[in-house]
Amino acid sequence: MPSYTPPLRDMQFVLHELLDVGREFAELPPHAGLDADTINQVLDEGGKFAAGVLFPLNQPGDREGCHFDPATQTVRAPAGFREAYRQFVDAGWPSLACDPAFGGQGLPVTLNNAFYEMLNSANQAWTMYPGLSHGAYECLRAHGTPPQQALYLPKLVCGEWTGTMCLTEPHCGTDLGLLKTRAVPQPDGSYRLSGSKIFISAGEHDLSANIVHLVLARRPDAPAGTRGISLFVVPKFLPDAKGEAGARNAIHCGAIEHKMGIHGNATCQMNLDGATGWLVGEADRGLNAMFVMMNAARLGVGMQSLGLTEVAYQNAAQYARERSQGRSLTGTKAPEQPADPILVHPDVRRMLLTARAYAEGGRAFCSYVALLIDREQHHPDPAVRQAAADEVALLTPIAKAFLTDNAWIACSEALQVFGGHGYIAEWGMEQYLRDARINMIYEGTNTIQSLDLLARKVLADNGAKLRQFGAHVRAFAEAHGSDPRLAEFIAPLADLGDKLTQLTMEIGMKALQDRDEVGAAAVPYLRVVGHWVFAYFFARMARIAIEREASGDDFYRAKLAVARFYVTRLLPETATLIRQARAGAGALMAMDEALF
Ligand SMILES: Cc1cc2nc3c(=O)[nH]c(=O)nc-3n(C[C@H](O)[C@H](O)[C@H](O)COP(=O)(O)OP(=O)(O)OC[C@H]3O[C@@H](n4cnc5c(N)ncnc54)[C@H](O)[C@@H]3O)c2cc1C
């Protein structure tokens, strides 16, 4: 049986010692009074809910899966999920980071983010039910009309209703311009929607009283392609005069998918048969509105993977302490036992440290992105808000793709630590690996994230956003470059920064001749940028650890050891990645299509 302990000490380190969120919040009027004790208390309570209520449901939920009843077209989530959701709602968790104007508690996104890491470690499949509601909330808050906001937001905020995002259709996944679902205007201002959506997470379930679907569809006279897509709110039950769930709407679940992982989350085929919906935002600008939800969800997927990385690491470390096989190469370490614990073997340590470094680097990075979102939303200075928004735009595809790729590596290494036992369901490791795989696919595949980073976020603005982040790296290197204790962190960071600048220019030049060069370089390029960003956070964390190591607190010794492992064993991957990114499109495009 796996176990999970919320990593509260490391969260507190990241929030208070690394990011100094108290100083940051003091500049953001809604959060100005928030002190460290309150933050720690919320995390503590959140950790108890995650570990105590959700974690015990994770393995049984995976085994049981969701139940679809074709007669009623309803879905029942695994045993215990509904009760856990009721507890979640009763405790007020859904409203944590929501606007008080709609019943929210108005706490920072940074705090909610840390909370969601723990939920995902405990039970990713369950967490997807409320997780999508938050994206729906963000989208309606940004683009809904005041009556739509008054109707839907309080219900989503308190968790009585949940949300979904309905984009994908059988013939249309990445290329949303192909979507066919029709929305026909009605005299009363509503629309009738008809079409089929597939792979809709939490499209139907028994956790909430109503489900608010945000659906992309095409109006009859809309232009072809992505410029003709509009966004509609389509509730499962139409709100009655009092704003409560009323008559059943014509949007039904036709089936649920049998899939590799996240068995406890219902992945639904949704049929719209003249369902009633209302336009959200401007007609034909639906993708623009949906991007609010998609961006929130992309960071959310990064957090799913961070959660899995952490829990997989914890269990592998525990196993490595207890499992005895062979003797240490440098002489017996546990003479009282017939063999040494496998933790003595260098390669077992490599696997563990890989997972741990990706967890600690990911936590620092994602917390920073969440803090930028708080700054973007609440800083009084518009120039600061804009700078934060630009950085979030740059870092979002990295949060999604780098963290999800890392989780796949980390969960696989953690499973490997168990040897054959890792492959056996009882230990829980194979579930983490299966669950982690989807995160690289949905919310835009990692290839699409890489293209977004390289083409849109870097090349399209001549590297301005990248330079903006580079300014932080340079400032850190200038401030601490003369400290010999930090040379081992700052030298590789600065070196990689130079190489990244060079690589970006090279790809930019080649792309002027051949756009396939962008597609050929994008995936290794994103990983190089991801490592550069992580190296920056590890250097900052190492600086703190070096300064506080003398306190005798083992936490700092461990932090420094992980940072050293990161720069010496994981960062060098960038040399290969840069060569791959430089190799260009030639070898990829040379073979005739017929030869595949
Ligand atoms: C469990 C699960 C849950 C999901 N939840 C939701 C949900 O809640 N709502 C929702 O709307 N959708 C959801 N999806 C759908 C998911 O977002 C899509 O599967 C994903 O976006 C990819 O689309 P696709 O499967 O059609 O693959 P395709 O778009 O057909 O892509 C196939 C391959 O081609 C690559 N590719 C495609 N276009 C390009 C390009 N231009 N350049 C380079 N490579 C390209 C892709 O990267 C991929 O490797 C879910 C899917 C699953 C499996």
66-79 per-position pLDDT tens digit: 999 999 999 999 99
Distance of alpha carbon 566 from its chain centroid, rounded? 21
pLDDT at 293: 76
Ligand 1 atom with the shortest distance to the CA of 201? 8
Helix, strand, coil % in the chain, rounded to nearest 5: 65, 15, 25
pLDDT at 546: 97
The rounded distance, in Å, linking the Cα atoms of 436 and 422 is: 15
Give alpha helix (H) positions in 27-108: 36-49, 55-64, 81-90
In the set 24, 360, 430, 443, the catalytic residue is: 443
pLDDT at 113: 96
Any atom of ligand 1 within 6 Å of the Cβ of 267: yes
Q: Assess whether pLDDT exceeds 90 at residue 596.
A: yes
Q: How many residues does the chain have?
A: 596
443 catalytic residue (yes or no):
yes
Q: Assess whether pLDDT exceeds 80 at residue 292.
A: no
Any atom of ligand 1 within 6 Å of the Cβ of 41: no
Ligand 1 atom with the shortest distance to the CA of 448? 47
Ligand 1 atom with the shortest distance to the CA of 445? 47
Top mutation candidate among 62, 75, 174 for ligand 1, by most atoms within 8 Å of CB: 174
pLDDT band, very low/low/confident/very high, at 348 (cuts 50, 70, 90) = very high
Joined together, the tokens standing for residue 348 give 């077992």
Q: By CB neighbour count within 10 A (0-12 exposed, 13-18 middle, 19+ buried), where does 563 fall?
A: buried
Top mutation candidate among 445, 456, 523, 588 for ligand 1, by most atoms within 8 Å of CB: 445
H-run or E-run covering 296: helix 286-322
Joined together, the tokens standing for residue 546 give 């070096």
Q: Assess whether pLDDT exceeds 80 at residue 450.
A: yes
- Cβ(201)–Cβ(256) under 8 Å? no
pLDDT digits (tens, 9 = 90+) for 421-444: 999 999 999 999 999 999 999 999
Q: Under 8 Å CB-to-CB from 500, ≥6 apart: which residues? A: 466, 528, 529, 532
Top mutation candidate among 199, 214, 449 for ligand 1, by most atoms within 8 Å of CB: 199
Q: What distances in angstroms separate CA 478 from CA 358, 424, 473, 475, 486, one per listed residue?
A: 26, 50, 9, 5, 12
Question: What are the residues facing 272 on neighbouring strands?
Answer: 195, 251
Ligand 1 atom with the shortest distance to the CA of 202? 8
Joined together, the tokens standing for residue 269 give 């085929």
Matching residue, tokens 């809709």: 200
> Which residue owns the Cα nearest ligand 1 atom 40?
448
Any atom of ligand 1 within 6 Å of the Cβ of 270: no
Any atom of ligand 1 within 6 Å of the Cβ of 546: no
pLDDT at 140: 95
Provide the strand spans (E) within 113-221. Answer: 161-166, 182-185, 191-201, 210-217
Matching residue, tokens 């009760």: 83
Three-state DSSP at 217 gives strand
**How confident is the model over 561-565, as a mean pLDDT?**
98
pLDDT at 318: 98
pLDDT at 233: 98
pLDDT at 46: 98
pLDDT digits (tens, 9 = 90+) for 226-284: 999 999 999 999 999 999 999 999 999 999 999 999 999 999 999 999 999 999 999 99
The rounded distance, in Å, linking the Cα atoms of 420 and 416 is: 8
Top mutation candidate among 442, 456, 515, 516 for ligand 1, by most atoms within 8 Å of CB: 442
Q: Are strands 230-235 and 267-280 parallel, antiparallel or unpaired?
A: antiparallel
Angle at 44 between CA 535 and CA 123, to 5 degrees: 75
Any atom of ligand 1 within 6 Å of the Cβ of 253: no
pLDDT band, very low/low/confident/very high, at 81 (cuts 50, 70, 90) = very high
Average predicted confidence (pLDDT) for the chain:
97
Q: Assess whether pLDDT exceeds 80 at residue 82.
A: yes
> Which residue owns the Cα nearest ligand 1 atom 52?
199
> Which residue owns the Cα nearest ligand 1 atom 2?
199
The number of CA neighbours under 13 Å toward the Cβ of 470 is 16
Could you count the other beta carbons within 10 Å of the beta carbon of residue 466? 21
Query: Could you give the percent of the chain with pLDDT greater than 90?
Result: 97
pLDDT digits (tens, 9 = 90+) for 134-151: 889 999 999 999 999 999
- Cβ(286)–Cβ(309) under 8 Å? no
Any atom of ligand 1 within 6 Å of the Cβ of 556: no
pLDDT at 295: 81
pLDDT at 339: 97
Phi, psi of 508 (to 5 degrees): -55, -45
Q: What distances in angstroms separate CA 406 from CA 21, 141, 160, 519, 596, one per listed residue?
A: 26, 32, 35, 21, 29
Q: Assess whether pLDDT exceeds 90 at residue 560.
A: yes
How far is the first Cα of the chain from the last one, in angstroms, to the nearest whole number? 44
pLDDT digits (tens, 9 = 90+) for 41-57: 999 999 999 999 999 99
> Which residue owns the Cα nearest ligand 1 atom 34?
174
